[in-house]
Structure 1
Amino acid sequence: MTVVWLKTAHIASLVVWCGCLLVIPGLFAQRTGITHDPTRFDLQRLTRFLFVTIASPAAFVAIGTGTALIFVREVYTVWFALKLLVVGGLAAMHVRHGFVVLRVFEPSGTYRMWRKIAAIGLTLGLIAAILWLVLEKPAVDLAILPDWLHQPGGLRMMVEDLIRYWIS
């Protein structure tokens, strides 16, 4: 029964989080052309409320319940690692929106339409990738990875070689 509640909370919070990530760029785009300070402050207040009070807690719950589901369901597969990578992309978009909230509502702030389209398109792409990975659960052949990733300490050796190369 715990799994059912965890999945319900996970999916519900993901829907809210992803919905906010899709709506917030539209609010940023509305900033362009607003010179009247009370109107700008109202839009800033709404955007910050959506980001801080709704999107961020939903992201926290989505990631927390998702992490709990990893251990409850014992999902340790390659497709799941790819899903976590894509969820990291959603988290990066969330952080980016947080930085934009701080800057776009300054008196000289703007947000171009192409940025809105790019942010929404990238978010939709990440959502589609997550849905595909979760529903398809593709079999990933690890043979396509380089040899150094198949040996213990391979990543460490590769990073050490890169550091030596950059230093010398």
Structure 2
Amino acid sequence: MGLIVALKTLHIAALILWCAGLVGLALMLQAHHPRHSQLDYGRLRRLTHYSYTRLATPAAVVAIAAGTGLAFARGVFEPWFFLKLAAVGLLVCVHAWLGLAVSKIGETTGQHAPPAAWLVLALALPAMAVALLLVLAKPALPGDALPEALQSPRYRPLPVDETPI
């Protein structure tokens, strides 16, 4: 039982940091303006870069790794879990989108407009809420809620001759 508690604690702590990082990054990127002085722009650029590379991304990796370990340790493979994974997939997409914006802002000073914070938050906050609600409620969805192709193994070979390394 100690391993599950440790994984769950690590997973929740990393999720809190990751979600807070996504919200913070969306708001920080909104503050980038070409009319800032070079010093202010550089300072804000470093803050967003470090927030993305040293806080949000490591927290995302730890949250996903701990969540994967927790799923296998608890054997949670039910329909609600796959819906939760879809919400997490959306968070990963938002994370990558913010990373692209952080990168472009650093490469094209004053020439790249970051995504609007309201748009980022309109995607991220519902995904966070759905993931949280699914985990807390663990709704009993009917077995046929997933397509048949996702309910049983396909026993088909990979579309390549050998497994990529």
* TM-score grouping bracket, smaller chain normalisation: 0.7 to 0.9
Alignment of 1:54-69 (within 5 A): 54-69=55-70
User: For 2:151 and 2:13, how far apart are their aligned partners in 1?
Assistant: 37
Partner of 2:125: 124
Maintained 8 Å contact 1:83/1:130: yes
Higher percent of residues as helix = 1
Q: Which amino acid aligns with 1:41?
A: G
Look up the match of 2:14: 13
Which one-letter code corresponds to 1:58 in the other structure? A
Structure 2 residue runs of 5 or longer lacking an equivalent are 157-165
Distance in structure 2 (CA, Å) of the matches to 1:143 and 1:60: 32
Q: 1:47·1:101 contact (CA, 8 Å) conserved in 2?
A: yes
Question: Counterparts of 1:6 and 1:144 in 2: how far apart (Å)?
Answer: 28
User: Is the 1:86–1:129 Cα contact (8 Å) retained in structure 2?
Assistant: yes
Residues of 1 paired with 2:152 and 2:13: CA distance?
A: 39
Go from structure 1 to structure 2 and tell me whether the alpha carbon gap of 1:38 and 1:72 turns closer, same or farther (over 3 Å shift): same
Aligned residues: 154
Instruction: Tell me the TM-score normalized by structure 2.
Output: 0.84
Aligned to 1:110: 113
Q: Is contact 1:32–1:111 with CA below 8 Å preserved after alignment?
A: no
Unaligned runs of 5+ in 1: 157-168
- 2:43 is matched with 42
CA distance in 1, matches of 2:150, 2:67: 26
Task: Measure the CA separation in 2 of the matches of 1:74 and 1:145.
Answer: 18
How has the CA–CA distance of structure 1 residues 145 and 135 changed in structure 2, closer, same or farther, with 3 Å as cutoff? closer
Larger Rg: 1
What TM-score do the two structures reach when normalised by structure 1? Answer: 0.82
2:33 aligned partner:
32
Alpha-carbon RMSD: 2.2
Q: Offset of 1:136 from its aligned partner?
A: 1.1
